[in-house]
A and B are shown apart, each in its own frame.
Chain A
Amino acid sequence: MSETKYLLFLGCVIPYRLSSYEISTRKVLAKLGVDVVEMPEFNCCGYPMDSVNHDLMLTLAARNLCVAEKQGLEILALCNGCFCSLNETNKMLKEDKELREKINGYLKEINMEFKGTTEVKHLVHVLAEDVRFEKIKNAVKRPLTNLYVAQHSGCHLVRPTKFVEHGDDPENPKMLKDLIKLTGAECVDYQDEARCCGNPIIGVNEEVPFEMAREKLDHMRVAKAEAMITVCPFCHLMFDLNQPRIEKTFNEKFEMPVLHYPQLLGLAMGFSPEELALNTLRVKPVKLLEKLRTN
């Protein structure tokens, strides 16, 4: 595929709370020759509203899809939640004529119509399926040899499989693992890799998701991971921003740096830690960077 141009869907969380993901993504994609177009007038992807009103979730997502259709571009989402709701809505409205007519009835109020002419992809799909491994491998200038990391694909990148058609295993996701290996780093196996970070319920209950995240951090530590790699802002906030509080709650020390995948790839491509905003992480990757310097 030669045409690698996408409409970048940042969502609500990344632009204001997790610039490091956006900065590193933009750097890496530009170097790989992927063009991104800014999404005009985007609104919430719909995901947080699914619990409130299913029709609203579908209509919010559909409005974003209509914007992409008008631009004639596929959507590139960085967040698992955004990917999930936009992709799900796209698939549902394409397949279900009755539902499409209902949602188009709402969209008529704003002179828009869902036609079903676009696709929704996550950063992981764009890298693995469109840019492809060979091109990424060729862009790696400083292989991260001797570095052991753990992947956390998160849930909505691979589930529910009735909508995610990229062939990844919902019980044991491999796509992100393969992308990690391209950087020269080792991707360790650990217990319950496909398990949720817990973040979606942190607004109603803190104890439960903290325990869920603690368990995952513990499993990664047992597997001797030196860092954790995420591809979703919610997972990242759970493990990075909340890690000190999780440590305090359970009286444990993990000190597990949590990098966005494009940060890891960016390091291997020769970008400096500052260029990739590694300094903005909550858990400072001091040991990791030291190791890479002396590699």
Chain B
Amino acid sequence: MTYEEKSVSSKFSDEIRHRLGGETIAFCYQCGTCASSCPVAKVTDKYNPREIIKLSLLGARKEIVAGDTIWLCCSCYNCQERCPQEVEIADVIYTLRNIAIQEGNVPDIYVAFAEGISNEGRIVPVSKFAEKKREEYGLPPIKPANMDALRKILQATSFSKIQFKKGEAQ
């Protein structure tokens, strides 16, 4: 059976709808305004927001969650601003990424970000070299983040439970 023969409501689209940011997905009527507004889709065939919404509505969970396409949204919000059905497309894609990461599909860059947050509370590591440069420029020193507090936040939000592919970030 092809996707088109299935119902547009699926277990996967319900899962998305019930998560923060995914609420509006079912309003989509596939007009394609998003795809024609998308600066990424303009330069590559690998990414098409309309297709992502369609496959999600049709329940192609594995294809979306394990695939590469959701990571190509540049989150410019052009599609979302122009959508006549007020589908919050960029927010839906963030929701899809959250699901993908939960399932272990984590691009290396997010492994690196996660390490930065876990170790220093920021994504750019503090370095002695950079601190010295700041001093030379007459800029005030940057105080470290409060890691005791941050560790508690990482625990509370279940971030600590996410399985990142350690070691592949470098």
Residues of A near any B CB (own CB < 8 A): 10, 12-13, 15-17, 19, 22-23, 26, 38, 40-44, 48-56, 59-60, 63, 99, 105-107, 109-110, 112, 155-156, 159-161, 170-171, 192, 194-196, 198-201, 203-205, 207-209, 211-212, 215, 277
Contacts and interface: CB of A to CB of B under 8 A. Distances in A.
Q: Which of B40, B76, B123 is the most central at the interface, judged by chain A CB atoms within 10 Å of its CB? A: B76
B101 A51 contact: yes
A51 B97 contact: yes
Interface residues of B, number: 66
Contact of B74 (A38, A105, A198): A198
**8 tightest A-B CB contacts, nearest first:** A203-B109, A196-B76, A159-B77, A43-B121, A12-B122, A51-B97, A16-B130, A110-B149
Interface string B93-118: 01101100100001111101110110
Contacts of B18: none
Interface in B42-75: 42-44, 46-47, 68, 71-75
Given A110-B149, A196-B74, 13 more contacts: A10-B142, A12-B116, A41-B146, A49-B159, A53-B159, A54-B98, A55-B158, A63-B153, A106-B157, A159-B81, A204-B107, A211-B43, A212-B43
A191 B119 CA distance: 43
B120 to A, nearest CB: 9
B81 A209 contact: no
8 contacts: A15-B130, A48-B123, A59-B156, A109-B153, A109-B155, A156-B75, A159-B76, A201-B71
B167 interface: no
A13 B125 CA distance: 9
Contacts of A43: 117, 121-122, 145-146, 150
A155 B144 CA distance: 29
Contact of A155 (B77, B97, B149): B77
Contacts of B43: 208, 211-212, 215
Contacts of B150: 43, 63
A14 B129 CA distance: 15
Contact of B140 (A38, A112, A200): A38
A42 B117 CA distance: 12
Contact of A204 (B19, B42, B72, B146): B72
A212 B113 contact: no
B134 A15 contact: yes
Contacts of B98: 51-54
Nearest to B146: A41
A52 B101 contact: yes
A173 B14 CA distance: 36
A259 B148 CA distance: 38
Q: Which of B43, B75, B114, B127 is the most central at the interface, judged by chain A CB atoms within 10 Å of its CB? A: B75
